[in-house]
Structure 1
Amino acid sequence: MASSLTKGTAEQGTPASGGKTFFGHPRGLATLFMTEMWERFSFYGMRALLVLYLISGGPDAKTGGQGGGLAMSLATASAIYSVYMATVYLLAMPGGWIGDRVWGPRKTVAIAASVIVCGHLVLAIPGAPTFFLGMVLVAVGSGLLKANISTMVGQLYDGPQDPRRDSGFSIFYIGINVGGVAAPIAVGTVGQTVNWHLGFAVAALGMALGLIQFLIGTRHLNPISSQVPTPLEREERNAWLRKGLIWVAVAAVFYTVVATAGLFTINWALIPIALIGLFTPIAVLFRIKRDKELTALEQTKMSGYIWFFVAAAVFFMIFDQAGSTLNVFADKNTASKVLGLGFPSSWFQSVNSAWVMVLAPFFAWMWMALNRRGKEPTTTVKFAMAMVLIGASYVIFIVPMLMTQDGSKASPMWLLTVYMVQTMGEMCLSPVGLSVTTKLAPQKYASQMLGVWFLAVTAGDCVVTLAVTAGADLTGVAVIAVEAALAALAGVAIYLNRKKVSALLGDVR
């Protein structure tokens, strides 16, 4: 074992040592790049098909569309989709904890990828029970993988000061978007035009390829990725196991009673999960904010961070509807031909990732150019810009919604424009949010704060679930207008309070 670890280290290769590299980076980056690409392939493939499959055969499906789905209403399908998205990001925190305390990052990623493969294979089996089981497995696997694979990217470099580190994460980020572009085209085409379950099987194949190359390429990873940083003591492990079994037993008894009484509906599952997803980030932030071990400056910075967290939750409340509200509009109300060539509506799910690849270099150049002139917007102003842009995207979306009320089809250019404006907002919020999270994190919670950032996505998606189950019509112009106004008002509020927020941030710009 020792010799193999030593060998793995020697084979990493760095520009300094003159060994084999991946675009000047440790060879392990190629392994993690491909693993993340295939995981995103499975994730975005699932996202492209999920709502369309759930409503297929039902009253809200496209006339003349493929059957074989679960014939649900769009409201129920949207609630399920939002809970699925929320759960993936909610599980990123316990996924990171398992990597730190139980299995180590490398083993956790291998297990996570295996669980995702199994989940998609179960989804490939027709039937509602297999669908929900498969969806749970994919969500659990994605949550386990998310935090740990990013940890391993960081472990490839010689500490935070390694000059290649930021560039390495940028290359890694490209893998996410390559998977995001490819998945709806491959998985969406097969699932939407041939067979839904065969589409899920294609997603399983992609993740299986990612798992195989990860296992082959682990020799190029840092040996520390196999270690458990702070392993659980036996007493701790037993205590966690007892707590887990108690909660499982409580849930089993509760739902058995509900089912026996004939009261069970899908909302009995969706609403509790949504409430957990909404209150978990509130509880986590409250616990951190109330920690008396934090310095006065750290407490103040956390007060400033809450502004960004709430804004991000509102942003992702709209942004993540790309897989539900916008996906169904693309299927039912948008022309699916360009220059006489037809394509499945699920291809629109590739557009955001494609825009990211086009716009990210421009935004990076723009921020640097403005910085050299001393005119780069502060983090607070960038967040305000993001909120106004995501609100503006829904104002634009209202136009094709009104145009298609008579049954006509909107031009694909409308959705391409909506996604472009949303991606511009994403460029002002996502990378900036990740950066400011690391800058504002109290020393005690340095390794946990990225998980806290992901909880903003959870909170936003859970708000959508609760709104839908309460009767909100996400396809109605009135609700879309309210969401747009809410985002824009949040942006204006942040901008008007920018001096107050900046004062809370201390030396963080």
Structure 2
Amino acid sequence: MQDIALLLLISGWVFVLIWIPIVIYSNRKIHPKALFIIFLTEMWERFSYYGMRALLTLYMAKVLYANLGEQQANTKAIGVYGAYTAMAYLFPVVGGVIADRFFGFRKSVIIGAALMAIGHITLGMQGIPGFESNQTIFFLSLAIIILGNGYFKPNMSSFLGTFYEPDDPRKDSAYSIFYMGVNTGSLLAMLTCGYVGQRIGWHYGFGLAGIGMTLGLILFMWLGPKYFEDKGLPNDPNAGKKPLFAGLNVNSTIILGTIVLIPVVMFLLNPNAILSRVLLAVSILILSYIIWHALSLPDRKEGQRLLVIVFLFFFHMIFWMLFEQAGGSIALFTDKNVNRMVLGTEIPASQFGALNGFFVILLAPLFSWMWMWLGKRKMEPSTPMKFLLGLFQIALGFGLIVWGARSFATDGLMPLVFLVLMYFFHTSGELSISPIGLSMISKLSPAKMVGFVMGAWYLSISLGNSMASEIGKLTAGGNLDGSKLSRTDSLVVYTDTYLLWGIYVVLGITVVLALLIPLLRKWMHGIH
């Protein structure tokens, strides 16, 4: 009998091995060769990130916290996952500042990639005798990955921009290729690490993610110097060499500070209220500053455009709060309450995350064409309307899950088609919000504070991820005696939670946004 899961893995690699050369060959005379090095490095970095993410929640629930009983294990797993993803979007704000002022993009990317490779490989040590389920190694690895991501994530996309002039017509095309590289890595990671982790061994899946990041780092350091020219170097080569204290210069102090932060991040990863409070406090302070700045600007139009960003910050946060259930509660739901049998093979739950990357690759060109086609006919929706469409599609995706689970489930197992449809609509919602939001920041922010406002925008994703874990915990069902819920009872817990938060709450917030759209469009003052 054929192993369909393995067939999916092979098909994914065959598709990518055909597709990537076509993309590179067809664009070789249009773009600088540096784009393709950055594209492939980012692809391997996303392979490492999503490869680990595919296994993280399931590993914690099934192995690391298995002795706690189903409810506590699921609650802790979702809590740690939420803290991990929240900090993955918090530290890039700092990493971008360090690159701008001291390290430059290239050095920051190399440091970040090296840290992430180390973190993924040490995570793979979980399978070595004597290290099984070692929580110290586990949290140490996650902390190293988070700090590495802080250096890497904000600077790859910024580095790419240095190869193009601001008004270069090739720029949008370059970022489209870059974005597809991101999702190619996601697709391959979910299929490969998910299969290896659940079919062969968790530690092999984690280790494989580390190998992917190492390949990306080698590629960047090996081919980069030949094609990067003088791009990505520090703006002031001497800024980081200035002495600071105790005989250390600025650069050495930053590296030392990174090492000191490791135990702090390890502490914040354990489910607790401190991280949520820190994120909330930082977000309130930054938003308050942006509001104050907007009201203080002599140009009233510039100020009102900034206020549009503040309003949409909230709706952006809500979107990610529900979208990021994919790596938390949806992963556990898929494992327990979805009929994953395909042609006699049970597909590992961790492989289904690949649907997001697959649909992005499939739909991104269509969305790009659609917005252009509508724009030429003066029919393109405004940015706030695109946000509304994104939120509505999140609700539609959860609606399909609730409908499929309540109307078509057998013995607590929902047909697979409803999960696939959920990923389709959540991905189309992502394409209606995520790239649109990034473009909006560059259009509505005053030129002198684009970087700062972009950092604030990432905070909305961080806060959304933190809140996602709180919703996910509501699905962590279990009996009072610590025994597992039956599949039928578990299905009720999941659908009740998704009905309330994924449908009713989201649709209510969508109505609020619909009422605000005329005001927000007015405040954008002609910027579409």
Question: What's the TM-score once normalised by structure 2's chain length?
Answer: 0.82
Instruction: Give aligned pairs, total.
Output: 473
Percent identity over the alignment is 31
- Answer with 35-44 or 238-247: which moved more: 238-247
Q: 1:396 to 1:450 in 2, by over 3 A?
A: same
The reply to whether residue 52 of structure 1 matches residue 54 of structure 2 is: no
Q: Write the letter of the residue equivalent to 1:190.
A: V
Unaligned 5+ runs, structure 1: 1-19, 62-66, 256-263
Q: Distance in 2 between matches of 1:290 and 1:352?
A: 38
- Determine if contact 2:42/2:181 at 8 Å carries over to the other structure: yes
Shift of 1:105: 0.6
Secondary structure of 1:408's partner?
A: coil
Name the residue aligned to 1:125: 125
- Answer with 413-422 or 270-279: which moved more: 270-279
Shift of 1:232: 5.5
Q: 1:294 to 1:347 in 2, by over 3 A?
A: farther
Name the residue aligned to 2:87: 87
Secondary structure of 2:231's partner?
A: helix
Q: Write the letter of the residue equivalent to 1:187.
A: C
Name the residue aligned to 2:506: 487
For residues 85-120 of structure 1, the C-alpha deviation after alignment (integer angstroms, 9 at most, x for no partner) is 111111111010111122111001001000000001
- Determine if contact 1:352/1:419 at 8 Å carries over to the other structure: yes
- Determine if contact 2:103/2:251 at 8 Å carries over to the other structure: no
Q: Distance in 1 between matches of 2:258 and 2:141?
A: 22
Q: 1:93 to 1:251 in 2, by over 3 A?
A: closer
Q: Write the letter of the residue equivalent to 1:374.
A: K
Q: 1:240 to 1:483 in 2, by over 3 A?
A: farther
Name the residue aligned to 1:507: 526
Q: Write the letter of the residue equivalent to 1:487.
A: V
Shift of 1:278: 2.8
Q: Distance in 1 between matches of 2:262 and 2:143?
A: 16
Name the residue aligned to 2:355: 351
The reply to whether residue 275 of structure 1 matches residue 285 of structure 2 is: no
- Determine if contact 1:301/1:505 at 8 Å carries over to the other structure: yes
Secondary structure of 1:409's partner?
A: coil
Name the residue aligned to 2:168: 162
1:132-171 map, 5 Å:
132-157=139-164, 159-171=165-177
Task: Give the structure with the larger helix fraction.
Answer: 2
Shift of 1:293: 5.7
> Which of residues 306, 313, 328 in structure 2 aligns to 1:324?
328
- Determine if contact 2:101/2:234 at 8 Å carries over to the other structure: no
Name the residue aligned to 1:29: 35
Q: Distance in 1 between matches of 2:387 and 2:508?
A: 12
Q: Distance in 1 between matches of 2:515 and 2:271?
A: 40
Q: Distance in 2 between matches of 1:377 and 1:133?
A: 45
Secondary structure of 2:232's partner?
A: helix
1:237-386 map, 5 Å:
270-291=272-293, 292=296, 295-386=299-390
Secondary structure of 2:451's partner?
A: coil
Q: 1:487 to 1:232 in 2, by over 3 A?
A: farther
Secondary structure of 1:217's partner?
A: helix
Name the residue aligned to 1:110: 110
- Determine if contact 1:87/1:277 at 8 Å carries over to the other structure: no
- Determine if contact 2:118/2:210 at 8 Å carries over to the other structure: yes
Name the residue aligned to 2:213: 207
For residues 133-189 of structure 1, the C-alpha deviation after alignment (integer angstroms, 9 at most, x for no partner) is 1011111111211111111110111x1111111111111111001001000111111
Q: 1:234 to 1:501 in 2, by over 3 A?
A: same
Name the residue aligned to 2:100: 100
Q: Distance in 2 between matches of 1:100 and 1:165?
A: 21
Q: 1:496 to 1:163 in 2, by over 3 A?
A: same
- Determine if contact 2:44/2:185 at 8 Å carries over to the other structure: yes
Shift of 1:288: 2.3
- Answer with 283-292 or 94-103: which moved more: 283-292
Q: 1:387 to 1:236 in 2, by over 3 A?
A: farther
Q: 1:271 to 1:23 in 2, by over 3 A?
A: farther
- Determine if contact 2:84/2:269 at 8 Å carries over to the other structure: no
Shift of 1:428: 0.9
Question: What's the TM-score once normalised by structure 1's chain length?
Answer: 0.85
Shift of 1:504: 1.4
Name the residue aligned to 1:397: 401
Q: Distance in 1 between matches of 2:85 and 2:53?
A: 9
> Which of residues 439, 443, 446 in structure 1 aligns to 2:450?
446
Q: Write the letter of the residue equivalent to 2:285.
A: A
- Determine if contact 1:56/1:72 at 8 Å carries over to the other structure: no
For residues 390-419 of structure 1, the C-alpha deviation after alignment (integer angstroms, 9 at most, x for no partner) is 122112221244358774322221110001
- Answer with 415-424 or 395-404: which moved more: 395-404
Q: 1:165 to 1:331 in 2, by over 3 A?
A: same
- Determine if contact 1:38/1:206 at 8 Å carries over to the other structure: yes
Q: Distance in 2 between matches of 1:282 and 1:202?
A: 39
Shift of 1:220: 0.9
- Determine if contact 1:105/1:226 at 8 Å carries over to the other structure: yes
Q: Distance in 2 between matches of 1:151 and 1:267?
A: 28
Q: Distance in 2 between matches of 1:443 and 1:306?
A: 17
Q: Distance in 1 between matches of 2:116 and 2:57?
A: 19
